[in-house]
Amino acid sequence: MAIEEFLEDNLNHPTADEIYNAVKTKLPRITKATVYKNLKVLLSEGLIKEVNVKGVTRFEAKIDPHHHIICKNCAKIIDFASQELTDYALQMIRNQKDFKIQSTETIFYGICKNCES
């Protein structure tokens, strides 16, 4: 189980399948079911977070709140930390009465260096 955490720190925003393949090199007998079960546990413990892009679910080790930049072409994700932006967004929404807001995250869509040829 600690194996998952280890992996989370290394790769950037892998899918469940990518995690499975990576862990398999260390634990050849592991199955996807086990990976999913552990991801679920880690999620419920708040140790990791899931991000959804174009219907693809990816996971990341949860550090502090941050934002994401996503390539519209290859779906690559990079983090963008900015407490300032978080604060500003929360400021904007402060008098929303139908929801009790708990957190916020901004997503930027664009094309990464690799994909603009």
Partner DNA sequence: GTACGTGCAAATGATTTGCGTTAAG
Partner DNA sequence: CTTAACGCAAATCATTTGCACGTAC
The residues that touch a second copy, with contacts defined as CB under 8 A, are 50, 52-55, 57, 69, 71-72, 78, 80, 82, 84-85, 88-89, 92-93, 96, 98-113, 116
Q: Is 25 in the site for DNA (CB under 7 A)?
A: no
Q: How far is CA 98 from the centre of its chain?
A: 27
Q: How many angstroms separate the CA atoms of 98 and 13, rounded?
A: 32
Select 26 or 81, whichever has its Cβ closest to DNA: 26
What minimum distance in Å lies between the beta carbon of 114 and a second copy? 9
Q: What angle do CA 22, 25, 30 make, to 5 degrees?
A: 85
